[in-house]
Homo-oligomer: A and B are copies of this chain.
Amino acid sequence: MLLRSALDFGFQVSILDGNPACTSAPFVRNFTLAAPTDEAAVYAFGKTQDIVTIEMENVSVAALERLEAEGVQVFPQSQVIRMIQDKGLQKDWLLQNGFPTAQGIVISGKEALLATSITYPMVLKSCRGGYDGQGVMLLRTEADLANAFEGASVLEEAIDLHTEISVLLCPASGIPEETLREAEDLARSIAETLGIVGLLAVEMFIDTSGRLLINEMAPRPHNSGHHTIEAVVTSQYEQLLRAICNLPLGSTLTLLPSAMVNFLEPDTSDATLSGRMIDQLLRISGAHLHWYGKSGGKAGRKMGHVTIALPTLDAVHSTMRQVQAVLEAE
């Protein structure tokens, strides 16, 4: 989706990715097959570029630091990525800067965890590599410790979750005005404290008492913002390009009410996202299909999404129900 915006601006793009089936690879001239955590490969790749950005945090920060030192523009800046990619550093940063977040401590590993006195329930988050709910577990009783992560983790209080939101560009419906404003102020304050150049998504919890708590940050285009392509004057992707290329930022005016439905690969081996389903989705007026072209197989893997952007919220809701009906019939 970032490539789409690069196409609009006539920019040349190169990609480094560890997956030979990377769905964007066919759309760039220069595709480098290497793990983004491979310092030598990221450094060699970056040296050929004017500007480097990321679409996931789990990258070699050491390579980015060397590139920055040698004059390559790296956005978001390496020190922002270094902090955010480690949930322990991120938790410490939030607490030290006085931002509301669940109380938590960094635990160096499983042995240290077993030696810690715990008031159940607590939440355990692996410091590295978590994504889409992976790397997070609820510790209900002592028995759950058996499955605890081996490496460094954040041990934090379990909150009484009411809603999860993220602040990016686009206001959500169904959230009290005051909470929205508070969330936006918080996100802006975090971005300013970070001094980040690029995009920042701030994931927050609203607990049952209405309190906002920062869950985590993502310094990149975020799943919750895909609908900005269709519904907002400037999409999150175009905004990222504007930010890192030192162009004026675009308007974040919302043009149309919108909603988004994700497709996950089913978890039964005999079901798969079928051509018939895609055909049915394409018949729904106002449902924009974004199909990532991944080869399927792994249950729960995100295969694409549909954005619905229409003149009224009623039309969005009824169209969303049509999309869900197609997915549920599958």
Contacts and interface: CB of A to CB of B under 8 A. Distances in A.
Interface stretch (A24-32, A89-97, A111-119, A151-159): A24-32
Contacts of A286: 233, 251, 253
A72 B204 CA distance: 52
B247 A9 contact: no
A105 interface: no
Interface in A223-264: 233, 242, 247-248, 250-251, 253, 255-256
- Most chain B beta carbons < 10 A, residue from A10, A25, A292: A10
A41 interface: no
A289 B29 contact: no
A8 interface: yes
A8 B289 contact: yes
B10 A23 contact: yes
Interface string A275-308: 0001100110110111111100000000010000
Given A255-B311, A285-B233, A3 B23 contact: no
B23 A289 contact: no
A134 B8 CA distance: 27
A255 B309 CA distance: 9
Contacts of A278: 247
A141 interface: no
Contact of A293 (B11, B253, B255): B11
Nearest to A303: B10
Given A4-B8, A247-B279, 12 more contacts: A8-B289, A9-B293, A10-B292, A25-B29, A26-B29, A29-B29, A233-B285, A233-B286, A247-B278, A248-B283, A250-B285, A256-B256
Which 10 pairs of residues, A with B, have the shortest CB-CB distance? Answer: A10-B293, A251-B285, A10-B291, A248-B283, A26-B29, A248-B282, A27-B27, A4-B4, A8-B290, A247-B282
13 contacts: A8-B290, A9-B289, A9-B293, A10-B292, A10-B294, A13-B27, A25-B29, A29-B29, A233-B285, A233-B286, A233-B288, A255-B255, A255-B310
Interface of A: 1, 3-4, 7-13, 23-29, 233, 242, 247-248, 250-251, 253, 255-256, 278-279, 282-283, 285-286, 288-294, 304, 309-311
